[in-house]
Structure 1
C-alpha cells in the first residue's frame, strides 16, 4: 500500500484557498508569532477517559489558530515535553490522555457545506451533532457517523470509527476526500488517498492522533431530501431464533454495499441502509434482534420512536443507572422484550434521536458523576473475519464466537449490558481492524458501579481477545483494549512496520504521545525521554 513512500508531501501555506474549508486555517496568517501566554490554558487539569477508568493530569491548552498550534509545537520541542490531542472527551480508553501537554482542538469547529459537490468541510473540533444538524437542514446526512453528538470529527476520523450504517457503507474513512494535517515541524499538508500522500492519508485515519494535528476534514455526504424537509429513520425489527439466524441476516446483499473505498460514479444517488443486530440477556435467557433502517423524508411517516432513540426521555437516566446492576438489567430487558418491542410494524425515529442514541448514556453519566456516583463504562470491539468465498465456514466462526460470549456471561454472572454485531467491508487504513479483510464487528458494552466488577469484566474481555486471535481476527483499537502486547503484535503485524516508519518520518523527535498506543504496542512505541517540566 505505498510501502515505498519516501516523500513528496503536498504542502500548502496557511492562506491557501481554492477549496471549501480553506478559511478554517486562515488564522495561521498572523504576521507576528503568538505568545504562549495568549493561548487559553488550564494548568494541571485533571482529565479522564469517557469510561472513567483512565485519568491524567496535564497542562490543557485551547489554541484557536494554526499559528498558536505551531507555537505550542515549538515550545514542546525546545523543552522536551510531549503532546497529546483531545477534543470531545469521548475516548473510552487512554487515547486522548497525557500527563504533560494536552491540546484541545475544540476551537477548530468551523463547518462549511458545499451543496453542489455534496461535501462538507469541518474543523477537527466540530461535533457530529453540529455537523449533522447543519447537513440535515440542507437535506444531507453523513454516510456514517458515531452514535454520540458530542464526539468530534477529528476524534472519530483519528479512530477510524464505525456506525450502524457501516454494515453497508463501510467505516468513516471511506468518505474522507482530504484532510489538512499540521506536522510537528509546522508544515501544513493536504492529504488524500491519491499519491503522493496516500500512505500518510491511510495512516492518519485510524492513527489515533499520533502523526500530527488534524486541522480540517472534507467528507462526501449523502443527499436524502430536499432542503428544509424533515428527515426520519424507519427501522424494521426482526427477532432471531438463534445465532445462526442472526449471522445469516447480517450479510448484506451486494447491491446494498458501498462499491469501494473512496466511492465510484455508481455511488451517485446511492443511500446506505443500516443492517445490524443487538443481543441481550433476559431472565429467560439470551435474545437477539436484527434491525434494518433506512432514511425516509417528510412527515407522512408518523413518528413511532424506540425508547433507546429518545436520549432525553424522562425514564432514560434512571434506566441507565439501574441497568448497571446485573439482575436488574436482565429484568428490564425481560420487560422490554415481552411488552415493549413490537416487531409487527416499523419504528420511525427523528433523525437526531436515531443517530445519537448514546447521548442518553452521556447524560446519565454526567448527572451521576455530578452526584458523586462512580460510573464505569467498558466497551471492547472484536473483528471476526468473513470470507465470502467460504461463507458457511465464516458464519460458523461468528456463531461460535457469539456462543463463547454467552458461555462466559453465564459462567461469570456478569452479562454485557448488550452487544451488537454488524458486517464490515475491508479497507486500507493501516491500524484498522478490517485492514485487508471483511469481517463482523462484535462490540460488548458493560456498565459497572465498582472496580471489582470492572476487574472481572477485564478478565472476560482478555479471554475473548485470545479467542479472537485464534480465529484469525483482531481487536479494534478505538475502544477499550484488554489483550496482551504479544496478541496485539500478532494481530497488527501487517501494519506496524509501515506505521512506525511514517511516525518517525513526521515526528522524528517523538514529541507526540499516545498513552494508549505506547501501552498496547510497547515494542514499537517506547516513550521518548522527557526533560523536566518548565
Structure 2
C-alpha cells in the first residue's frame, strides 16, 4: 500500500482550522480585538441609552410589573401550546461556554440594569440582575465598600452569579457568592412576586435558587452583602517550592486547620508547576508616606498581566506592594486570568502591551457572538475552561489529577467555605464529616481554576477531551466536589443526580409550579451539542 493510500485526505475544513490555529495571534490582534472594541463601545452606548431613557431606579416596580404581565400572558395560553420560559437575554451575552436553545423557549424580556439602593445601615446593596461586576465595583469602591464576594471578570452579571455560582479570594471568610445574598426578589411561574430570604416563608426557595440557573423563576432583584474597605490592599507575594509546602500553607492561612487562626482579608494561590506556586496574601491597608512608590496600578494597559507579575516573585523572592482595591478586584480582567495567552501568545510582550494593550480584554460577549457551530465543537475539544469546587484536605490530589489529565499550568486556587445548611437545603450536599473545620458548620474547600490548552494539544498529540473531563468528573464526585455549571459538563442525567442533591430542588419546582414552566436544571446546563460524538471527531491532532 502506498503512502498516499495510507494517509487520509485533509479536508478543507481541517486545512482552514490548521491555518487559523497557526495564525491565531495575528487574527485576534488585527480582526478580533478591533471588532471587539467597537462591539464593546456599541454595548456601552446601548446600556447608556437603556439607563437614560428606559430604566431608572424609581421605575423598578413598573419594570417588574411588566415582567409579571408577560408571565401572566404565558399562563393564559393553552397548556398544549406553552413553551418553557427563559429570559430573552441572548446566549452570547452570558459567560457560559454553552449555548442553551432559547429559540425553543418562550422568552421573557428583563430590562433590569440598575443599582437600586445602597443600604449602609444594613451593609447591603440592592441591584437588578443585569448589573455587572464592573458596574457595581465602580459604584461601591469610591463609597468605601465592595461586595463581600466580587468576581474578577467585569462582564459577569450579579444576577447570573446568583443563579449560578461565584467565588473570590474573600470566600475563605464568607463562602460562595450565595452566602452573601440577603434576599432574592423573584417572579414565579404564576406571575406572582415573592421575596425569598434565609428565614422567611420562602426560605426553601432561597436555598434552592443558587445553582438553579433560572429554572425556578425569574430573578428581578438582589440584596447583597457588602464589606467596608480601605482604598488599598497590601498584597504580599510568597513564592513556595514543594507541593506539600504550598498546600499546607494554603490550608493554614485559610483557617482550614484552626477556626481561631487570624486569616488575611484576601487569599489566593497560582500554581505554576506541580512544585512551584505563588501565594498571595492581601490586607486592607493605608499606604505609609514613605512607601507610596510601592503603589502598583496592576490594571493599567501597559502593565504585565497579573499572573505573570505574580510569577516574577518565583525569581525575585518574597515581596509586597500596595494595590488600589478596584485594581485588585479586577486584576485578572485584562488577560481573563491567562486565557488571552492562548489567543495572543505574544500578548504580554512589553511592545504589545504599550502599543495595543489598551485593546484588551477581548469582549467575551463578542467572542461568543462570533462563535460558529464548527468553532464551538473544535474549541471544547482543544481547550479547557473549568472551575471546580473541591475539598482542601485533598488539594495535592486535585493538582496531581489535573496534571495527569490535562498537564496544564497555571492553576488557580481560591479557598472557600462550604456550609452545612442541613439536608436538602440547596443543590450542594453538606460537607463530609472529615471535611469540616473542627468546631464549625463548614468545610474549607477551594476553587480549582483550570483554563487553557492542554499540553498534548500544544504538542499536536492525540487528546481525548471527553475521556479526560469524564475522568475529572468522576474524581470530583468521589471526593465530594462540584463543577461550576457555566462550563461544559459531560455527565449523564443519573451521574448529574449522583453529584448534586436535587431533592430540595425538585420539591421547590413542584411547590412553586416551575415544572412545565421552566427547563430542568440538567437540561438547562448540559451542552447543546453531543459532546461524546463531537469528541470522537476531534481526538486526532490537526
TM-score (norm 1): 0.67
SS in 1 for 2:361: helix
Distance 2:82 2:300 in 1: 44
Residue aligning to 1:406: 403
SS in 2 for 1:438: strand
Residue aligning to 1:353: 327
Whether contact under 8 Å (1:95, 1:516) holds in the other structure is no
SS in 2 for 1:302: helix
Identify if the C-alpha distance between structure 1 residues 461 and 129 changes in structure 2 by more than 3 Å, giving closer, same or farther: same
- What does residue range 82-231 of structure 1 map to in structure 2 within 5 Å? 82-85=84-87, 86=89, 89-94=93-98, 98-99=102-103, 100-103=105-108, 105=110, 107-225=112-230, 231=231
Whether contact under 8 Å (2:237, 2:310) holds in the other structure is no
Distance 1:126 1:461 in 2: 32
Query: Which segment is superposed worse, 509-518 or 248-257?
Result: 248-257
Residue aligning to 1:503: 509
2:472 matches 1:464: yes
Residue aligning to 1:243: 243
Distance 2:320 2:163 in 1: 35
Distance 1:354 1:510 in 2: 44
Whether contact under 8 Å (1:81, 1:101) holds in the other structure is yes
Instruction: Summarize deviations over 1:152-194 as a string: whole Å, max 9, x none.
Output: 1111111131111112221222222222111121111011101
Identify if the C-alpha distance between structure 1 residues 336 and 213 changes in structure 2 by more than 3 Å, giving closer, same or farther: closer
TM-score (norm 2): 0.66
Instruction: Summarize deviations over 1:272-307 as a string: whole Å, max 9, x none.
Output: 6122211124xxx75212111122246745365779
Q: 1:294 aligns with which of 270, 277, 283?
A: 283
Whether contact under 8 Å (1:124, 1:216) holds in the other structure is yes
Instruction: Summarize deviations over 1:54-109 as a string: whole Å, max 9, x none.
Output: xxxxxxxxxxx112212332344424122223489343233866223444645342
Instruction: Summarize deviations over 1:493-528 as a string: whole Å, max 9, x none.
Output: xx2121011112223452223675446599xxxxxx
**Mind listing any 5+ residue stretches in structure 2 that lack a counterpart?**
1-55, 337-359, 433-441, 529-542
Distance 1:258 1:141 in 2: 27
Instruction: Summarize deviations over 1:184-237 as a string: whole Å, max 9, x none.
Output: 211110111013221111111232121111111112211224xxxxx1222111
2:415 matches 1:422: yes
Identify if the C-alpha distance between structure 1 residues 241 and 517 changes in structure 2 by more than 3 Å, giving closer, same or farther: farther
Q: 1:481 aligns with which of 478, 483, 489?
A: 489
Residue aligning to 2:30: none
Q: 1:68 aligns with which of 66, 69, 75?
A: 66
Distance 1:151 1:315 in 2: 23
Whether contact under 8 Å (1:89, 1:151) holds in the other structure is no
Q: State the number of aligned residues.
A: 417
Deviation at 1:346, TM superposition (A): 0.7
Whether contact under 8 Å (2:67, 2:110) holds in the other structure is no
Deviation at 1:247, TM superposition (A): 1.9
RMSD: 4.1
SS in 1 for 2:216: coil
Distance 2:258 2:125 in 1: 19
Distance 2:102 2:369 in 1: 26
Query: Which segment is superposed worse, 290-299 or 442-451?
Result: 442-451
Distance 1:490 1:409 in 2: 24
Deviation at 1:439, TM superposition (A): 4.0
Deviation at 1:242, TM superposition (A): 2.0
Distance 1:188 1:447 in 2: 42
Whether contact under 8 Å (2:140, 2:146) holds in the other structure is yes
